[in-house]
Amino acid sequence: MAGTLFVVATPIGNLEDITLRALRVLREANLIAAEDTRRTAKLLSYYGIPTPTLSFHAHNSRARLPQLIDRLTAGQSIALVTDAGTPGISDPGAELVSACQESGVTVDPIPGASAALVAAVGSGFPLNSVTFLGFPPVKVNARRDWLLKLSALKATVVFFEAPHRIGATLADLGAILGSRQICVGRELTKAHQQFVRGPANGAEFLSIARKGEFSVVIGPDLSPETPGAPSSDADIVDAFRAFNELGRPVGRRGAASEVARRLGLSANEVYRALERAKL
């Protein structure tokens, strides 16, 4: 009889943020598949759990997957953990779960800490509709395009960012979102936990330390719907020039997309008007 893959959520900072069920599963499993065995060792040592670990991360997942499936189909139980939070987000956990489903291995998720939910709740924004987007692209132009698409979402959005890129990402958000409210959560559940909320282009975000883990929450777009979107090329060109005069470094494509969003038009309509005006 096949074993069970337990997908175990672990603390995102504070080691006390783990469930009794998760601790029992970690003790009883035959093996713990960990994204970083060194980080997991700290948690296991804290709770006196002797279960052996095996590394399972993005760089060895191709080799590890068949090994883990063999163990599971042979009847062993494996607990899957990531560095922090719930496995399957920005790690190869989803691949292992999918392989288990295809192999007839039982998958049992053990819920717990989630940085995205902690950040969303701490933001104070409405959470009746929330979109989670993971990490933005690393390259500058791809990231700006990604943020422009994000800006078209009307409801609350949550994403993660690395400390060495958070400054550039916040600058882009200020240029793209303007006065739309955002909340930046840093070092969530840890001793230096910090929530900073305000308009995306606000000066308060300049003082955030560029250290630790970051979660960014974009508040809902509360701007009123345009009752009658302008249809003349002159209106579109005026809006495009006015946006560019703000000096926001998003390029022609970014400016056109933002004008389209503000005027309630499609990006293609704006591009055609700019082409006709030779801009």
- Same topology, domains 4-113 and 116-218? Answer is no
Q: Which of 2-6, 128-132, 156-160, 274-278 has the lowest mean pLDDT?
A: 274-278
CA neighbor of 121 nearest in space, from 69, 158, 73, 151: 158
Residue 212 φ then ψ, to 5°: 95, -170
Nearest Cα neighbor of 4 from 65, 73, 67 is 73
Domain ranges of the chain: 4-113, 116-218, 233-276
Half-sphere exposure of 266 (CA within 13 A, CB side): 3
27 contacts: CB under 8 Å, gap ≥ 6: 49, 51
Q: Which CATH class is domain 4-113?
A: alpha beta
Q: What is the pLDDT of residues 118-152, one digit of tens each?
A: 999 999 999 999 999 999 999 988 998 899 889 88
pLDDT in tens, 74-122: 999 999 999 999 998 878 899 999 999 999 999 999 999 999 999 999 9
Residue in 184, 70, 169, 188 with CA at minimum distance from that of residue 123: 184
What fold, for 116-218? 3.30.950
